[in-house]
Structure 1
Amino acid sequence: MNLPLPHLLPDSVDVLVIGNGPVGASLVALLGRHGINTLVVDKVHDVLLLPRAIALDNEALRILQLAGLEEGAFEKIVIPEVRMHCPIVGQFGRANTRGSLDGHPKLVTFYQPDLERTLRDQCRHLDSVTSLGGFELLNLTQDAEGVDAELRAEDGSTRRIRARYLVGADGASSKARSLIGQDFRGRSYAEDWLIVDARGREQAAIDHVEFLCDHRRPTPHMPAPGGRERWEFMLKGGETREQMEDAEHIAKLLEKWVKPDQLEIERKAVYRFHARCCERFQNGRVFLVGDAAHITPPFVGQGLVAGLRDAANLAWKLAWVLKGRAAPGILDSYDQERRPHAREMIALAKLMGRMVMPGNAPTAMLVHGLMRLTHLIPPLRRHFEELDIKPKNIFKRGLFMPAGRGRRLRRGGLFPQGLVRQESGSIVLSDAALGDNLVLVGLGIDPRASLTAELCQQWERHGGSYLQVGLHGQKRRDTTPFVEDIGQTLLTSAPAGSLAVVRPDRIVMHEGDPAKARQLVQESLRLLGS
């Protein structure tokens, strides 16, 4: 619900979220699904109409699914491929983004204000969530039991709120980050770019993403929903914001694509692309997510995606601690799991940036020429075209049982998603059948068969549930919740008769054969501090 008056702020909440952008709103929606008493505040009341994120991958769409957004909740354009073109050597790179992974397209573009409105609408239906605009964070102090936050309202008045935990989702200039001593340090990869969003291009817009890697003026170009297109022009030395945002100058930059009389500019702005990451995403009871914790250049479309991964990783851990299902120590695994992967994505974006932005013609000829030559070597071509260059979201350390190499189902990696048929006859993506719990999954077997009644009760007290996955056409023979694997995705992920413990963020916490069912449950409970 929305409360407009400062004096109606609650005195205390379980979680206070600073910032109601797409990452903050996603975190709030996930917390709300777990019934956590959450307040989210933002400086502004409405969604900002600014040229920001435009791309989402299958992992991001799966997280939004977890947050309650159905397949058609907001408009998207499915991108079949990404092309990289150099005026000297021609097309030198291509990424195949056709098809889907884990039930979602590999790559889509979207219109961020639509996504933000959809997320906010989702939060309005959650009784445990309160959303307020017109407030900013001034200061915070924390002790062993919680965080005291001082907020300033737009009328200048201040209020203090007690929260058990505070999350800074307040963007690249995060006040929360500054207050916990995690200001970005060291050198930043920084480049100024003019971003132009045009609309009214329903019949003329391209259907793919292209990077024009011209050393004179690199230009990424892509479509977006609503007949929109985006161009990003790198500024040359000496060019100013005023020059670049001039209407006549923009028309000249776009003349190879759009005639001036057909040009309908929706937004234009000069932005600086950075590559930064905090030393830690947590200080005591204060956490950082999204751009408050890390900033990724846009060349691999992973900026918002990384923030959504943060939200999914942190939300269920906060919920389990606040509900008494897990010890507070599990919260340390948030930084342990998320920071290394965020750094890997930043490094990849910087590498791609060097390909997009060659400094001169000889460098372009060398770099782009070598990339084109790799297409003559099938393994290298597949490595780039099938996006194997992208760091896998598989943790090295964290809240899961370590395992040796050679396991088909990776502990610390994502559990697959596919189409399943429920006992009601409805066909859904398997995450819907897993629900919001910590799930013991039996792949072809009843996961409860080897557990004692006492151990089942302990598992359920700590947020555990069960799911048996059977073959297409198979029917349930016991009382355990059951689905048919009609997409043949889940049963092929591990040897027949395997068990898996799947976290609410769909990370595999543990796995093994049914003879070790009791051990799997007990070790998973120990990970929770039980």
Structure 2
Amino acid sequence: MQNKNTLALPEMVDVLVVGNGPVGATLAALLGRYGVQALVVDKIHDVLLMPRAIALDNEALRILQLAGLDEEAFEKIVIPEVRMHCPMVGQFGRANTSGSIDGHPKLVTFYQPDLEHSMREHYRRFDNIRSVGGLELKELSQDDTGVTATLTDEEGASHQVRARYLVGADGASSKVRGLIGQDFEGQSYSEDWLIVDAAERERQAIDHVEFICDHRRPTPHMPAPGGRERWEFMLHPGESREQMESDEHIASLLERWVDRRQLKIERKAVYRFHARCCDSFQRGRVFLIGDAAHITPPFVGQGLVAGLRDAANLAWKLAWVLDGRAKARILDTYDQERRPHARKMIALAKLMGRLVMPSNAPMALLGHGLMRILRLIPVLRRQFDELEVKPRNIFQEGLFMRRDCGRGLRRGGLFPQGLVREAGGSIRLSDDVLGDKLTLVGFGVDPRAQLDLEAQRRWENCGGGYLQVGLHGQKGGSTTPFVEDIGQALLGGAPLRSLAVVRPDRIVMHDGPQERAATLVSESIALLGH
């Protein structure tokens, strides 16, 4: 039952977020961190317990870190490898997912309700964020100054909320997407799959991810936290949801792994996997993120990850525009930066889907046999084994200075992260030291040393900050924040005595030698529209 006080909705907010799933909740946490007044609404009150996303990569974990979620906030299982097996040719593919990138494991599995509960609990700490369940979006209209949303509660009463911007994080069947005329068009790469989560699998579940690429019944299989194990079974033509979801049929599917007398089914559901992408993630003051903007088949574990990238990219831009630190035109770069990469991930997932789901035995023998042969070539084996086939999150155009020299960092790409030691002796991940600002980073130099007072004032008024990175064992010699780069993760990617401008979403906006400090600052400020 809706509490009476939750019906007293604000008449005006900075941002209205429609959808309180993992992507909408992460956006809310980021907006909370940046001081934006936001309202999050959803048709339901509680977190869904149905089986959904299960994998996160290092980039996703870094975004959750950015949103402020503690590393121990939800349980994870680190996955050391992903295997691809064909009954006819044996193991034909393997991805090495051991180790870490930018301070986080390459691949983990997780239990989505735990993540959502943790993120909701986290953003409720911000006085500027409010969430209300039991509200459904019915209509929206926008003008030059904002968006008016009409919401209906569980009693059928209508409410209007005015927002300067609205974000649709309302999933694959997004109402927001339909209202702004961005419904998915064209053919969908759709397949029906039964997802089964078994409970009480402690010390019995596998410790890796495997794809059993059997043309008779493809089956991805993986462990999950809390003593869980998941299987996914592709439906054959003519098989019904009711048939597939019956406990007896599930027991027969799992009998090669689990004795039916010991089988504890926790969740089961038939889902249709799609591959879709909007023509634009923005219409005026309305934005789409996550599954509302793009739907990725699960074969590379990038569906939720892509949505988290959306949230990180959009949140700081909204905050900077709302606070007057940037002009509204920077919001156009959200679609410009995110849509090409989302399309590349969808294309990769479709390619992997063709490997996982061969249509018949000859196709399986040809495709999987060829893959096994190609892995004999070292450069090709590395492409798959070391995940080099995965499209890197590097923008070709957007809110950064285009490259004009061959330096170590990639403008439009992610700034590296590693362990650093602060002046007081505490050791932290470098993103936690960068904080919320647009940061001018000096590699072995004080980034403020070449800036006059007027340049510093202009930079700080645009939300700019400073960080000097020194070698392990060095000490800072000024009032500029200083850290030692313990593992050379930061200094290893840029020349000494150079500078970089790092956006709040950890994308490199600009870089150059220390002598060009004033130019870097002025050109970065110009990118913000000032």
Determine if the TM-score, normalized by the shorter chain, exceeds 0.5: yes
Matches within 5 A, 1:342-491: 342-404=342-404, 406-491=406-491
1:166 alignment counterpart: 166
Report which stretch shifted further, 392-401 or 2-11. Answer: 2-11
CA distance in 1, matches of 2:4, 2:409: 48
1:104 alignment counterpart: 104
Amino acid at match of 2:291: D
Amino acid at match of 1:77: I
Q: Decide whether the 8 Å contact of 2:58 with 2:107 is kept in 1.
A: yes
Deviations 1:343-398 (A, max 9, x none): 00000000000000000000000000000001211111011100000000000000
1:236 alignment counterpart: 236
State the shift of 1:408 in Å.
Answer: 1.4
Report which stretch shifted further, 403-412 or 428-437. Answer: 403-412
Provide structure 1 residue ranges, at least 5 long, that are not aligned to the other structure.
none
Amino acid at match of 1:176: V
2:188 alignment counterpart: 188
Deviations 1:207-243 (A, max 9, x none): 0000000000000000000010110000001100011
Q: Decide whether the 8 Å contact of 1:3 with 1:130 is kept in 2.
A: no
CA distance in 1, matches of 2:186, 2:440: 44
Amino acid at match of 1:67: A
CA distance in 1, matches of 2:473, 2:347: 46
**2:286 maps to 1:286:** yes
Deviations 1:273-312 (A, max 9, x none): 0000000000000000000000000000000000000000
CA distance in 1, matches of 2:72, 2:342: 28
1:15 alignment counterpart: 15
2:200 alignment counterpart: 200
Identity %: 73
1:42 alignment counterpart: 42
State the shift of 1:405 in Å.
Answer: 6.3
CA distance in 2, matches of 1:159, 1:65: 35
CA RMSD for the aligned pairs? 0.9
Amino acid at match of 1:93: G
State the shift of 1:5 in Å.
Answer: 3.7
Q: Decide whether the 8 Å contact of 1:197 with 1:229 is kept in 2.
A: yes
CA distance in 2, matches of 1:203, 1:472: 41
Q: Decide whether the 8 Å contact of 1:6 with 1:153 is kept in 2.
A: no
State the shift of 1:3 in Å.
Answer: 6.8
2:123 alignment counterpart: 123
State the shift of 1:6 in Å.
Answer: 5.0
Q: Decide whether the 8 Å contact of 2:407 with 2:495 is kept in 1.
A: no
Amino acid at match of 1:135: L
State the shift of 1:410 in Å.
Answer: 0.2
Deviations 1:60-86 (A, max 9, x none): 000000000121111000000000000
Amino acid at match of 1:284: G
Amino acid at match of 2:274: H
1:148 alignment counterpart: 148
Q: TM-score, normalised by structure 2?
A: 0.99
2:492 alignment counterpart: 492
Relative to structure 1, is the Cα distance of residues 3 and 401 closer, same or farther in structure 2, using a 3 angstrom cutoff?
farther
SS of the aligned residue for 1:262 comes to coil
Deviations 1:310-353 (A, max 9, x none): 00000000000000000000000000000000000000000000
1:31 alignment counterpart: 31
Provide structure 2 residue ranges, at least 5 long, that are not aligned to the other structure.
none
Deviations 1:402-458 (A, max 9, x none): 004633100000000000001121100000110011000001100000001011001
2:132 alignment counterpart: 132
Amino acid at match of 2:400: F
SS of the aligned residue for 2:493 comes to coil
CA distance in 2, matches of 1:13, 1:4: 20
SS of the aligned residue for 1:440 comes to strand
CA distance in 1, matches of 2:25, 2:42: 10
Q: Decide whether the 8 Å contact of 1:198 with 1:229 is kept in 2.
A: yes
Q: Decide whether the 8 Å contact of 2:299 with 2:353 is kept in 1.
A: yes
Relative to structure 1, is the Cα distance of residues 6 and 420 closer, same or farther in structure 2, using a 3 angstrom cutoff?
closer
Q: Decide whether the 8 Å contact of 1:3 with 1:132 is kept in 2.
A: no
